[in-house]
Chain A
Amino acid sequence: MAENVGIGASVLRKEDFRFLTGRGTYVDDINRPGQLYAHILRSPHPHANLKKIDTARAKQAPGVIAVYTRHDVNEDKLGGMPCGWGVKFKDDTPMKEPAHPMLATEKVRHVGDPIALVIAETRAQAKDAAEQIAVDYEILKPVPTINDAIKPGAAALHTEAPDNVCYDWHIGDKSAVDSAFGRAHKVAKLDLVNNRLVPNAMEPRAAIGDFDSANGDYTLYTTSQNPHVIRLLMGAFVLHIPESKLRVVAPDVGGGFGSKIFHYAEEALVTWAAGKVKRPVKWTADRSESFISDAHGRDHVTHAEMAMDKDGKFLALRVQTLANMGAYLSSFAPAVPTYLYATLLAGCYATPAVYAEVKAVFTNTVPVDAYRGAGRPEASFLLERLVDVAAKEMGMDRVDIRRRNFIPNSAFPYQTPVAVQYDSGDYFGTLDMALKASNWSSFRDRQQEAKKRGKLRGIGISTYIEACGVAPSNVAGALGARAGLYEVANVRVNPTGSVTIFTGTHSHGQGHETTFAQLVADRLGIAMDQIEISHGDTGKIPFGMGTYGSRSLAVGGSAIVKAMDKIVNKGKKIAAHLLEAAEADIEFKDGKFSVAGTDKSKTFGEIALTAYVPHNYPLDVLEPGLDETAFYDPKNFTFPAGCHICEVEIDPDTGNTTIITFTAVDDVGRVINPMIVEGQVQGGVAQGIGQALLESCIYDGNGQLLSGSMSDYTMPRADNLPNVDVSTHVTLCTHNPLGVKGCGEVGSIGSPPAIIGAIVDALSEYGVKHIEMPATPQRVWQTIQAAKGKKAA
C-alpha cells in the first residue's frame, strides 16, 4: 500500500470529488438562522475630505436594521486595521504607520475605501438603502501613481507621512558595491517596471459574523488563508474580543494567491455588527467590489546596475526600487518589497556585493500586499532581465554568463551578501535539464523556419531562485515581523486506528488533504481513507500561522512529521509493554510495531485501541491516549530554484505574441506528489504568463481604476496558455525533516523573465533591449514601430 500512496506517488486529490461535483462548502454557501446581509458603501473618489455623512434616510429604508459609520466605530472605541510587519528607515527610525480605519474617518484615500455599513434583511435592500446615504465630499488632488507620490509638492495622503514616504530602507554593503563599480570593466543598466496586478481569486471574499447571545461567543466565517492570524489581529487590535470568545472558520476557500492572507475591514465589520444587532450578518463581495477592495500585488519602479569584470563575472549589483503601498498599509505590505524582495537579489549568482535601496510610498490606490510570489517575482524579474542585458553588454551568450556566475554546488551552504543563506541547490543541473528539454541548441533553425512564415520567433531563459517558509521566528522578529512563523500539527489517533491531522496551514486549492495524508500514510502505514486532514477552524486547531509563501509542506508538513515522531515513540512504549520487550528493541515499519529479530508484533490499530482502552497498560509510567501536538519552527528559509525557458512567436503586423513552448525545470526539494507539483507549477506559470503578457492594473490620472472589471482587466484564459512542460530536479533541503522546499510560487517567479526574454530575443533584429510587462499586442507593435523609427532616423 505504502508504495502506491506514500511519498513520491501521484495520488489523485482527495478533495477534488467535492470541488468538481459542486459540493464544496464556501463561506457564501453557509447560511445562519436569522441571517442579515451587509452592504458597504464605498468611496467613488480616490482622495477627498469626508464632511457630513447623512444616514437618516437610509435608516428608514425598507428592511434596514442598522447603518454604521465612523461615528459608531468611535463610540464603540474600536481599533484600526493593524499592520503585521514593521520596516525601518536607513537611519533606523520606524516606518510611517498611519491609521487604517475600518470605516473612513476624516478622509477617503482610494476608490473603494469603506464609508458605511448597511445591514438589511436582504442584499438588495441593503444596496437600495446605501444609495440613500448622502455623503459630502471635499475633493482633493489624487496621487494615483508612484511617480505622482514622490513629486515635490505632491498632495499628502496622511499627515504622518507628509512626503508620502512610508519608509526608505536599504540592505547590503554600499561602500563595497561602490568600490566594485569603480573597478568594473563594464556596467549593465536597466530601468524597469513591475506591473501592478489584481489577484482575482475565483471565489470573491466573503464573511459572516455570528454572535451567540447565550454566552457571548463570536464566530467569524471568512475566506482566509490563515484563520488564526485573523483571530489574533481582529480580536486583539480591532474589536478587543478575547480569543477565548472568538472562533474564526475558513472553510473551503476558492483560491487566495496571497490576497486572502490579510485581515480586511469587512471581517471585523460583520463580526462587530453581529454582536450589535444580535443576528448573523453576511457580506459577499461581487467581482467589481473585489477589484477595488482586495489587496493588489507588485507595482515597483526600479533602476538596477550590474558591474562586471572583463570575463563577465558579476562584481556587484546596485538596485533602487520605488514600491507602491497603496493608500494604507495592508497586513504584511511593508515586508514584501524589503525582506521578501531585496534579500533575494543575489539570485543564483555568486555576486560578492549587493546593495539595494527601497522607498515605499503611499498613493490613492487600493492597498498593495503579497501576491503569489510576493517580492520574489519582482526580484527575479529584475535580476534575470538585467543578466540578459549584461550578456548583451559583454557580447556573451545568455547561458554562458549565467553558468559563469552561478554559485557552485560545492559552495553550499552559501551566505549571500543580502542576509540569507542558501542551504542547497544545483543550478547547473536544472539549467542543463531545461536546455535539453527545450531543445535550446536547435532554436535558431526553428527561428529561421518561423521567419519564412513571417513570424518573429524568440527564446528566453530565466534561472531564478526563491525563498519559502519565512523563518526562523526569532530572525523574522528581528527583521520586523510582529508574529511567529512556526507551524503546528496535532496528530490525533482515534481509538480504532484512524488518524485525524489538525494542521495550522490552510488549503485553498493546494491539495493539502492529499499531500499531507500521503505523509501520514507513508509514515504510519495506514490507508488513505483512514486519514482526515482538518484545517481552517480555530475552534478545532492549535494556534497555527496558515498558508502563504509556499510554507505549508516545508513548515506545516514538518510539524506533522514531528508530531508523528511523538506518536511512534509513544506507540513503541505501549508495544514494548504489550509484547513484553525492551522499548529499544521495538521497531515500527509498515504500520506494525514488532520486536526486532522476532515475529512478535502489534498493528498500529491494536496499539491505538490499547492507548484508549488502557486495561493492559503501564498507567504508572505512561498517560493513556494517542494524541500528539508538535510546533515546528524552521531553522532557515527553504530555497527552491530552477530554470524556465519560453519560446514565443510574434506576429509583427499586429504585435500579437503566442507562447509556443514553455519548459520548467524546478528544484522544489523532495517531491511528495508529482502530479500536484506539476499542477502547482502550471498554475504558477499561468499567472506568470498573465503578468508578462496580459494583466495590468491601471489607474488613470484622476485616480479611477480603469481596469476594474473582467472586461477591462485581462485574466489569462485557457487559450492563452501552452502546455507547460514541467519536470523536477531534486536537491534536498538540509534543515527540515522532509527535505522539501515548496512549489506554490516557483511558476509565477520563474516565468515572467523567461517570457519577456523570449520577446526581446524575437525583437532583437530591431535592437530592442527591454520591453515592459504586460507585453500586450499594442505594446509589442509600438515597440517595433519605435525601433523602426530609430533605425530610420
Chain B
Amino acid sequence: MYDFTYARVSSVADAAKQLKGDDDAKAVAGGMTLIPTLKLRLAKPSALVDLGGVKDLAGIKVDGKTVTIGAMTTHGAVAASAEVKKAIPALAHLAAHIGDPAVRNRGTIGGSVANNDPAADYPAGVLALGATIVTNERQIAADDFFKGMFETALKPGELITAISFPVPEKAAYMKFPNPASRYAMVGVFVAKTAGGVRVAVTGAAPSVFRQKDMEAALTKKWAPDAIEGIKQKQDGLNSDIHASAEYRAHLVGVMAKRAVQAAG
C-alpha cells in the first residue's frame, strides 16, 4: 500500500466535496475491492473518503412496489432481510451467493454497482429488474448506467446513495461460479416486470448485458423450453483459463433456462 490520507465523513455532501476537490481521492465503502487493490499497489489514491460514518446510507425500505436499498447496505444485510426475501427473493438469493461471509459482511451494494466488475453479481440484478441508481446528483436508469468493463455513468465525485428496485412479478438468478474466485463465470438474472421481461447476463462479457433474444422468446412464453433453441453468440464474450467464450455462451443458455425454471 502507498501512503494516503484518510477521512471519515458524516454526510454525502461532505464526501462529495472532498472527492471533487481532489481528483486522486477515492471513496471507500466496504473496502472489499478497494483495499486488495491498494495492497497490491494497483492504485495510488491520495486520500480515502470513508462513507462508513454517513448516517442513512445503509438500510432497506420497502413500499408496496419498490424496494430501496441504501448504498452502504451490506450483502449480508440484503441476504438476511425478511422484507427483501418477501418482495424480491431472487435479490436476497443473489446477495447470499456473493463471496464468503466476511465479504458479505463488509461489501456493499453501492460499492459493487459503482465498481461494475464484469463478473460481479449485483449488476445482473440491477439491470434485469430495471432498477434506478440514485446518486447525490440525479437518478440513473439501469439501462443507462453500466457502460463497460469497470465503467459506469457515474461522474467524478458522484456517489451512489441508494438503488431502488421495482418489485417484479417473477424473478430468479442463477450463477455458475468461477471455480477459483467464485465470482460469476456466468450469471443470468431473469425477471418478469411491469415493464416487460428482462434477462441480464453477467460474468460472460466485459460488462453486464441484456439478452434480447431470450427476452423476446420469454415474452411470448414464460417457460424454460421457450429459450431452448436460443444460442448466445460467442462474439465479444470473455475467454480465460477457466472458460472459453464458447463454454460461456453455452452456460448462458443453461443458466437462463434454470433461472426461468426457478422463477416458476
CA distance A712 to B181 in the complex (A): 6
Type the 1/0 row for A627-660, where 1 means its CB is closer than 8 Å to any CB of B. Answer: 0000000000000000000000000011010000
Least distance between A740 CB and chain B CB atoms (Å): 37
Judged by a CB distance under 8 angstroms, whether A776 is at the interface is: yes
**Given A288-B40, A778-B243, A714:B250 Cβ within 8 A:** no
Question: Does the CB pair B241–A694 fall under 8 Å?
Answer: no
Type the 1/0 row for A755-793, where 1 means its CB is closer than 8 Å to any CB of B. Answer: 000000000000000000000111001100000000000
Binds B, one of A529-537, A611-619, A703-711: A703-711
CA distance A696 to B40 in the complex (A): 23
Type the 1/0 row for A103-124, where 1 means its CB is closer than 8 Å to any CB of B. Answer: 0000000000000000000001
Residue numbers of A with Cβ under 8 A of B are 124, 127-128, 286, 288, 653-654, 656, 694, 696, 698, 706-707, 710-715, 776-778, 781-782
Q: Which residues of the partner chain B approach A698 to less than 8 Å between Cβ atoms?
A: 241
Question: Does the CB pair A654–B254 fall under 8 Å?
Answer: yes
Question: Does the CB pair A776–B242 fall under 8 Å?
Answer: yes
Most chain A beta-carbon contacts within 10 A, residue among B176, B242, B243, B244 = B242
Q: Which residues of the partner chain B approach A127 to less than 8 Å between Cβ atoms?
A: 41
**Given A654-B176, A778-B243, A128:B2 Cβ within 8 A:** yes
Least distance between A777 CB and chain B CB atoms (Å): 7
Given A711-B180, A776-B179, A776-B242, 15 other A-B contacts at CB below 8 A? A124-B1, A124-B2, A127-B41, A653-B254, A654-B251, A654-B254, A694-B179, A696-B241, A707-B180, A710-B181, A711-B178, A711-B183, A712-B180, A777-B179, A781-B247
Residue numbers of B with Cβ under 8 A of A are 1-3, 39-41, 176, 178-181, 183, 240-244, 247, 250-251, 254
Q: Which residues of the partner chain B approach A712 to less than 8 Å between Cβ atoms?
A: 180-181, 241
CA distance A777 to B185 in the complex (A): 11
CA distance A128 to B39 in the complex (A): 13
Question: Does the CB pair A707–B241 fall under 8 Å?
Answer: yes
Q: Which residues of the partner chain A approach B3 to less than 8 Å between Cβ atoms?
A: 124
Question: Does the CB pair B180–A782 fall under 8 Å?
Answer: no
Q: Which residues of the partner chain B approach A656 to less than 8 Å between Cβ atoms?
A: 176
Q: Which residues of the partner chain B approach A778 to less than 8 Å between Cβ atoms?
A: 242-244, 247
Question: Does the CB pair A711–B181 fall under 8 Å?
Answer: yes
Q: Which residues of the partner chain A approach B181 to less than 8 Å between Cβ atoms?
A: 710-712
Q: Which residues of the partner chain A approach B180 to less than 8 Å between Cβ atoms?
A: 694, 707, 710-715
Q: Which residue of A lies closest to B178 (CB)?
A: A711
Q: Which residues of the partner chain A approach B40 to less than 8 Å between Cβ atoms?
A: 288
Most chain A beta-carbon contacts within 10 A, residue among B3, B40, B179, B240 = B179
Q: Which residues of the partner chain B approach A128 to less than 8 Å between Cβ atoms?
A: 2
Q: Which residue of A lies closest to B176 (CB)?
A: A654
Least distance between B188 CB and chain A CB atoms (Å): 13
Least distance between B108 CB and chain A CB atoms (Å): 20
Least distance between B112 CB and chain A CB atoms (Å): 16
CA distance A121 to B250 in the complex (A): 54
Q: Which residues of the partner chain A approach B240 to less than 8 Å between Cβ atoms?
A: 706
Query: Considering the complex of A and B, which 10 residue pairs feature the smallest CB-CB distances, nearest first?
Result: A711-B181, A714-B180, A714-B179, A653-B254, A778-B247, A706-B241, A698-B241, A778-B243, A712-B180, A711-B180
CA distance A124 to B41 in the complex (A): 11
CA distance A776 to B179 in the complex (A): 8
Least distance between A281 CB and chain B CB atoms (Å): 21
Q: Which residues of the partner chain B approach A286 to less than 8 Å between Cβ atoms?
A: 39
Q: Which residues of the partner chain B approach A777 to less than 8 Å between Cβ atoms?
A: 176, 179
Q: Which residues of the partner chain A approach B1 to less than 8 Å between Cβ atoms?
A: 124
Question: Does the CB pair B247–A782 fall under 8 Å?
Answer: yes
Q: Which residue of B lies closest to A656 (CB)?
A: B176
CA distance A694 to B241 in the complex (A): 12
CA distance A706 to B180 in the complex (A): 12
CA distance A711 to B176 in the complex (A): 15
A-B contact pairs, 28 of them (CB 8 A): A124-B1, A124-B2, A124-B3, A127-B41, A128-B2, A286-B39, A653-B254, A654-B251, A656-B176, A694-B179, A696-B241, A706-B240, A706-B241, A707-B180, A707-B241, A711-B181, A711-B183, A712-B180, A712-B181, A712-B241, A714-B180, A715-B180, A776-B179, A777-B176, A777-B179, A778-B244, A781-B250, A782-B247
CA distance A694 to B247 in the complex (A): 17
Least distance between B230 CB and chain A CB atoms (Å): 15
CA distance A694 to B180 in the complex (A): 8
Most chain B beta-carbon contacts within 10 A, residue among A653, A707, A710, A715 = A653
Q: Which residues of the partner chain B approach A710 to less than 8 Å between Cβ atoms?
A: 180-181
Q: Which residue of A lies closest to B254 (CB)?
A: A653
Least distance between B157 CB and chain A CB atoms (Å): 28
Q: Which residues of the partner chain A approach B251 to less than 8 Å between Cβ atoms?
A: 654
CA distance A698 to B181 in the complex (A): 16
Q: Which residue of B lies closest to A653 (CB)?
A: B254
Most chain A beta-carbon contacts within 10 A, residue among B2, B3, B240, B250 = B250
Q: Which residue of B lies closest to A782 (CB)?
A: B247
Q: Which residues of the partner chain B approach A782 to less than 8 Å between Cβ atoms?
A: 247
Least distance between A779 CB and chain B CB atoms (Å): 10
Least distance between A203 CB and chain B CB atoms (Å): 18
